[in-house]
Amino acid sequence: MSIKFDYTAVVQRFSARFPVLSYIMTQIGFWVSANILLGAIIHLQTLSITHNAKLPMPGNFLPTIIIGSIAGILYGGCYGLIDYYFDKNIFRKKSLGKIILLKTVTSLVLLALILMFIRYILFYLFIPHPVDNANFSLKGISWKYLVYTVVIFYFFMTLLINFINQVNKKYGPGVLIPLLLGKYRNPQEEERIFMFMDLKSSTAVAERLGHLEYSSFIRDSFMDINQVLSPFNAEVYQYVGDEIILTWRVNDGLNHESCVRFFFACEKQFINRIEYYTKRYNLLPNFKASLHMGKVTAVEIGEIKRDIAYHGDTLNTAARIQSVCNDYDKKLLISEYLLEKIDSNIHLTAEALGMIQLKGKTKKIGIASIAWVE
């Protein structure tokens, strides 16, 4: 039996398990490639000039590859680590303008340090006796023009890597390449797990806080939920008002009951931030949720604003299950179809609620509630 390699799933699992390493490796891979590309352009241009001017030909390309690779590893590693730290700890509530300004300044400072390292250390280690070579020297006007070239090149490459990072943030790691290859241009059938999480008593909370504070409250709640995504391999599908829709690939969601434990991890995250929520809003986020699994179709939609959409009865059923949480005074409801596929866990207890007639459905569906027991 042949095993189908799922690039997106592999990348997302690696990113979930090693978020910092994944971020840094992406930066290093990009900047090593970018530096080698820049070195190739400069080398070819040098060959063209020396050939036309009938000057002695420059050395081989290997030292340029070595210098570019080392510089790419240093710049990508340092910039990736700093950028990751900033995103997680500083940029969460900064405006886009301030983020761009801070990242630009950081990039320029780091680039200046790397250029000094190249000029005074790497160049003299890998290019033998450049001062004796009349054709090429990193002094005076030659160095100035090289700096101009590198700064301009890095500026546009930084825009490109930031675009890639934004795509990863929107669609998740490992989605860009399938998108470029047109994977979702035509509907693709997938089996997925979906969770609908909705703020309980949202109308009362909105009246109590006012619309501005209510929006801040929702923003903070969703940001805390996002902090829990990676450990449980969860992906955000959509934000809809005060509701967040999450999804898992089947293997990721069933592994160690991740799709179920995620909900209780979110509750724990809110409790850990109880001091902030109490001081700011005098209120702690309280969500209700549903879980269901089934086949859906995934397809790229839109022209002005593109997105990957999931269609199918699975989503409708998951939404309907969540709508009856209040009827049974339960926080987390799960379809029996999904519950049967989840391994037992001493901390999870299930209470069968029987076959329920959901609104808009012709057939009854088995539903159970899930609780966490310490």
SS3 assignment, position 331: coil
pLDDT exceeds cutoff 90 at 244: yes
Question: pLDDT for 320-330, tens place per residue?
Answer: 999 999 889 99
Mean pLDDT throughout 134-161? Answer: 74
Mean pLDDT throughout 270-299? Answer: 93
Reported confidence tier of residue 306, pLDDT bands at 50, 70, 90: low
Phi, psi of 285 (to 5 degrees): -60, 135
Residue from 128, 124, 148 nearest 59 by CA: 128
CB 299 within 8 A of CB 311: yes
Q: For position 14, what pLDDT does the model report?
A: 73
pLDDT exceeds cutoff 60 at 132: no
Question: pLDDT for 18-31, tens place per residue?
Answer: 778 888 888 898 89
Residue from 268, 194, 299 nearest 236 by CA: 194
Higher pLDDT, 52 or 45: 45
Q: For position 7, what pLDDT does the model report?
A: 66
Would you state the structure tokens that stand for residue 345, as one six-digit string? 């866990």
123's enclosing H/E stretch is helix 123-126
81's enclosing H/E stretch is helix 62-89
Q: For position 287, what pLDDT does the model report?
A: 95
pLDDT exceeds cutoff 80 at 277: yes
pLDDT exceeds cutoff 80 at 164: no
Q: For position 1, what pLDDT does the model report?
A: 37
Total Cβ atoms within 10 A of residue 282 = 9
Would you state the structure tokens that stand for residue 322, as one six-digit string? 């969540």
CB 226 within 8 A of CB 218: no
First vs last Cα of the chain: how many Å apart? 42
Higher pLDDT, 348 or 140: 348
Would you state the structure tokens that stand for residue 15, as one six-digit string? 């990113």
Pairing mode, strands 365-372 and 348-356: antiparallel
pLDDT exceeds cutoff 70 at 133: no
pLDDT exceeds cutoff 70 at 5: no
* CA dist., res. 319 & res. 296, Å (int): 14
Least confident piece of the model among 64-68, 158-162, 270-274: 158-162
Crossing angle for the helix pair 19-52 and 140-171, to the nearest 10 degrees: 140
Q: For position 258, what pLDDT does the model report?
A: 92
Total Cβ atoms within 10 A of residue 121 = 12
Mean pLDDT score of the chain, rounded to an integer? Answer: 82
Would you state the structure tokens that stand for residue 37, as one six-digit string? 């590309």
Q: For position 301, what pLDDT does the model report?
A: 79
Q: What is the largest CA-CA distance in the chain?
A: 88
* CA dist., res. 259 & res. 248, Å (int): 7
CB 208 within 8 A of CB 43: no
* CA dist., res. 320 & res. 336, Å (int): 14
pLDDT exceeds cutoff 60 at 131: no
What does the buried/exposed string (b/e) look like for 149-175 if buried means 16 or more CB atoms within 10 Å of the residue's CB? Answer: ebeebbeebbeebeeebeebeebbbbb
Q: For position 134, what pLDDT does the model report?
A: 44
pLDDT exceeds cutoff 80 at 291: yes
Would you state the structure tokens that stand for residue 287, as one six-digit string? 């969500």
289's enclosing H/E stretch is strand 287-301
Would you state the structure tokens that stand for residue 153, as one six-digit string? 């090149």
For the question of whether the overall pTM of this predicted structure is more than 0.75, the answer is no
Q: For position 96, what pLDDT does the model report?
A: 58
| % of the chain beyond a pLDDT of 90 | 31
pLDDT exceeds cutoff 90 at 115: no
Mean pLDDT throughout 140-157? Answer: 81
pLDDT exceeds cutoff 50 at 130: no
Per-range mean pLDDT, top range of 5-14, 105-114, 198-207: 198-207
Q: For position 337, what pLDDT does the model report?
A: 93
Q: For position 128, what pLDDT does the model report?
A: 57
